[in-house]
Structure 1
Amino acid sequence: MQSRSSTNGSMLSRAGSTSDTAAARNKLFIENLCREQCDKTFNAATINRLVERGSARPELVEREPTNSGKGQSAPQSVVPPVTRGVDFLAQLRQPMRPSPMQHVSAFSRPQTVPPVPVSVPKRNLWILNSWRDLILYVGTPLLLVPIFALAQARWSAQDIYVFVAAFGAMGHHLPGMIRAYGDRALFERFRWRFIFAPMFLVGTCVAFYWWDLKGIILVVFFWGVWHGMMQTYGFCRIYDAKTGSFAALTRRLDFATCGLWFAAAVLLSPQRMTDTLEAFYSSGGPFISPGLLHIAQQAVLFAAVAVSILFVVNFVRLLGQGSRPNPVKLALLVTSIAFWWYCNNGVANILAGIALFEVFHDVQYLSLVWIYNRNRVEKDSSIGGFMRFVFRRSGSLVGLYIGLVFAYGSLAYFNSRMEIDTIKRVLTGVVAASSLLHFYYDGFIWKVREKATRESLGLTGGTSSSASNEFLPSWVLHGLKWAAVFVIPLGALWLGQVHSLTPETQRESWIVTDLPVGARQHLNYGAALEKAGQFDEAVEQYRIALSFDPTYAKVHYNLAKILMGQSKIDEALEHFAQATRLDPGEAEHRLHYGYALERVGRSD
């Protein structure tokens, strides 16, 4: 018994020694692992708990072999178990069982308390709110058409155009100028553009109008159409950003849809194309055959329809994917493109159409710029002076804002009433330069893809502003763009007009050949023939013009003058009477009508 007892004691001693050695190794291993993984030393109590957790797992306990012969299992060893092959890194990853008090240790789960459900914010589809967006941005054409119908009952299309072109078209240039020269950060970023561009454009425009070079008219016209199209496209980008849509395909389809429909409306407008071809041929441009013009018109129209179909398909695809594109953008595109088409092709007088769309454009622009500049002033403390004063959050300052716009536009109105030819040419050049500066500045100070612009418009998401990766310096690329869209075209038109030997009658006949349908081009051709002394041919063109538009007062007046010279008094009196009735505000019509009545002895 004593021998067995001593034997058991030695076995227990060896087992205990083995157990102590294994535990010591485990402690050392865990401590080193903790230092390596967590860069900190844990206290002994924590290490002991880890060892106990690792050794207490049943699959890691060393057991005595069973006695299968007797059908009984041998009693388990009372020796503290020795761990073999313990994955201590996995042990570290396993969480400690939290106590009822939610004790959190270094090895607890990152979050033991259930998170509070976060409510999903409701989508905001509007820039301002529903009714303001509908009035200022989307449904504005529906309000303008009846207003203009009432205005035309009181004023002529020429008077409406002069008023809108002055106080609207030129007046709305001012807010962009205020931001360009009042936003210190923006001015520092584009300092040299803001300094040299005005001097260059004013000098160029005044020179072209001084020498009556028509090329500047074409450049201003094309830049203006591009500017109007880009504003519509910009609103599409804003409404997409309101719903978090920044897909490249959607952006490209928006751009193509706007660009092609704006171009198609101009190409298919006889009145617009009459003015465009007249400026082009006056600048020495070559004759464009009617067949080529027809192909261009049909090609652009076909492309516009095709892109519109792709746009609708993409819109439906996004709906099917659950992306839910902004329906307000779709409504904006429909109303803007339809209204642009109506203003170019659906009005009797193109001046009224230009004025109509200009008001729509100005209302959109002025309201959005007001919101943008007000947010900039509130968020950027570096903006001070006049810009901070004007764009404070105050209802009374809205009146000041509109007053400043009208004051700036009064320069164009004063120019329209100027009788001194020299001063008129200079002022016309200044007005044209203001338009080009407006188009130019808006091309880079309102980019929605830039983070600062999105923040001031209350937009989130998208890509932040980043440095460009072009292979050329930015100033070189900018200069190349200027050369491509301004210097080279304007220089070519200038050289063409200076060296052109085409007489006016030939140029006007080209326009009639290209656009045989319409009163305007036949009126211009008749006036050129009358100036050249070809009165019979002029009378023929005037009669063709009246067949397209019997209410054209100027055609009646020009025809009556020739008939008076040919001693066809009765017919001349009839056309003088028509001209006076159709345009009662024109004093020249009444003067010649009175002279004709006096010749036949009628004092009424």
Structure 2
Amino acid sequence: MSLAQPLPVEAERPEEPRREAPPLAARSPYIVGPVFDWAFFLLPPLLALGLGIAISGTAFSDTPVRFFGQEKTWAGLMVGSLIHAHLVAVFLRSHGNPAIFRLHPLRFVLVPVLAWAAIRGSVVVAAGATVLATFWDVWHSGLQTFGLARIYDRNRGNSPTAGRRLDFWLNHLLYAGPILAGATMLDHFSSFESFEAVGVPWLAAVPARMTATHRAWTLGVLGVGGAFLIVYVVAWARLRMKGHRPSFHKLFLLVTTGACSIYSWGFNSWGEAFFIMNLLHAVQYLALVWAMEGSRLRERLRLKWRGLALALFLGTVAAYGVGAELLDPDLESLWAFTLVVSLMHFWYDGFIWSVARKHV
């Protein structure tokens, strides 16, 4: 499809329509094109898993190196920089897109300033924001795969509303379920420990309570998840009988992402779960931002060569990513800034996908 047209994207919150929209005419099965989609949307789960396994136990992954007074591994620096780079890239979609920015200028200007002031002014707010960022990231990551999957389904010529709620909850099950039930649960809930230093012990005790009840959570996820998968397959079989045409690209994305999430978050066999899952998410997101905003960036900067615009985009977000990853945590004002960028990324991205959906 032409990038001159707005990409068809889905709202962050599921909304049940009063009646189902009619199927759309089939179009290209790809979002951007075969090479781009396979390289940056479809294969990243498998490639990230393979890379994570390949570096496990190597010096790249395990040997600490000092960077500006801090000890990090090369793998940690790489994925940490990518995480921060993709977080800040959302501002190209919000502040860099005049059509989006004009809709809610206060949301894009005033709210970040107020959020920074609140985090900087209250240690309790800062601790709460840290926890919020951790779990909002899980929610946001599941929604990214959901959005891409729905685009592929729509491009196959299916109704954009058929099975939407099923896909919504499937993606959260595949992403959040292995976290809650698996080996990395405590790593996610450990962010609550920051409440101990600010005098909120009952919240600081959350990791201990989750550890004590982890078996029950695991059994719950397996039971509820298994039942949902049966419902999901039966529901989609019925849609198939009504003429719904399965999208191979959607199925490939869901199966590979789900398998990668279960294997990485659930078992963390190679000790590289955070590397694998954050790498695939960041690569997909940066590719999506470039696909949607690359031409607009080149036009606004009046750059003749698209490659130069791409280099500027990647160089800018990479510079921020490395700087944020190597930031001294004792520089509280700058640390608060990076936390605000994280929170605004999750909020802005969901908002922008919702807005874009209204134009298709």
Whether 1:221 aligns to 2:126 is no
Higher RCO (CA < 8 A, seq sep 6+):
2
- Offset at 1:161? 5.0
Q: Which AA in structure 2 matches 1:188?
A: R
In structure 2, the residue matched to 1:336 is 257
- Offset at 1:211? 7.3
Contact in 2 for aligned 1:253/1:307 (Cα 8 Å): no
In structure 2, the residue matched to 1:86 is none
Contact in 2 for aligned 1:141/1:335 (Cα 8 Å): yes
**CA separation in 1, counterparts of 2:210 and 2:133?**
25
Contact in 2 for aligned 1:239/1:329 (Cα 8 Å): yes
In structure 2, the residue matched to 1:360 is 280
Whether 1:441 aligns to 2:348 is yes
Contact in 1 for aligned 2:60/2:75 (Cα 8 Å): no
- Offset at 1:247? 5.2
- CA 1:206 to 1:257, structure 2 compared with 1: closer, same or farther past 3 Å? same
Contact in 2 for aligned 1:183/1:387 (Cα 8 Å): no
Whether 1:146 aligns to 2:50 is yes
**CA separation in 1, counterparts of 2:189 and 2:85?**
25
**CA separation in 2, counterparts of 1:289 and 1:150?**
32
Structure 1 residues without counterparts, runs of 5 or longer: 1-120, 378-383, 455-604
Contact in 1 for aligned 2:92/2:293 (Cα 8 Å): no
Contact in 1 for aligned 2:60/2:73 (Cα 8 Å): yes
Q: Which AA in structure 2 matches 1:305?
A: G
2:337 to 416, 430, 436: 430
In structure 2, the residue matched to 1:470 is none
1:317 to 238, 243, 251: 238
Q: Which AA in structure 2 matches 1:365?
A: Y
Contact in 2 for aligned 1:173/1:435 (Cα 8 Å): yes
3-state DSSP class of the match of 1:182?
Answer: coil
Contact in 2 for aligned 1:170/1:412 (Cα 8 Å): yes
| Residues 184-205 of structure 1: per-residue CA shift (max 9 Å, x gap) | 2221211111112111222233
- Offset at 1:422? 3.6
Structure 2 residues without counterparts, runs of 5 or longer: 1-24, 63-71
Contact in 2 for aligned 1:232/1:258 (Cα 8 Å): yes
In structure 1, the residue matched to 2:225 is 304
RMSD of equivalent CA atoms: 3.0
In structure 2, the residue matched to 1:182 is 96
- CA 1:211 to 1:305, structure 2 compared with 1: closer, same or farther past 3 Å? closer
3-state DSSP class of the match of 1:446?
Answer: helix
- CA 1:166 to 1:310, structure 2 compared with 1: closer, same or farther past 3 Å? same
Contact in 2 for aligned 1:164/1:359 (Cα 8 Å): no
- Offset at 1:162? 3.3
**CA separation in 2, counterparts of 1:324 and 1:212?**
48
In structure 2, the residue matched to 1:461 is none
Contact in 1 for aligned 2:116/2:340 (Cα 8 Å): yes
Identity, in percent, stands at 27
For residues 135-534 of structure 1, the aligned pairs below 5 Å read 135-152=39-56, 153-157=58-62, 159-160=73-74, 162-207=76-121, 214-246=127-159, 248-276=161-189, 279=192, 282=196, 283=200, 284-285=202-203, 288=209, 293-348=214-269, 352-374=272-294, 377=296, 388-389=300-301, 394-415=306-327, 418=328, 422-423=330-331, 425-447=332-354, 450-452=357-359, 454=360
**CA separation in 1, counterparts of 2:303 and 2:264?**
33
**CA separation in 2, counterparts of 1:130 and 1:262?**
26
TM-score, L = length of structure 1: 0.48
3-state DSSP class of the match of 1:313?
Answer: helix
**CA separation in 2, counterparts of 1:213 and 1:186?**
29
- CA 1:296 to 1:391, structure 2 compared with 1: closer, same or farther past 3 Å? farther
Contact in 2 for aligned 1:182/1:387 (Cα 8 Å): no
Whether 1:128 aligns to 2:32 is yes
- CA 1:178 to 1:128, structure 2 compared with 1: closer, same or farther past 3 Å? closer
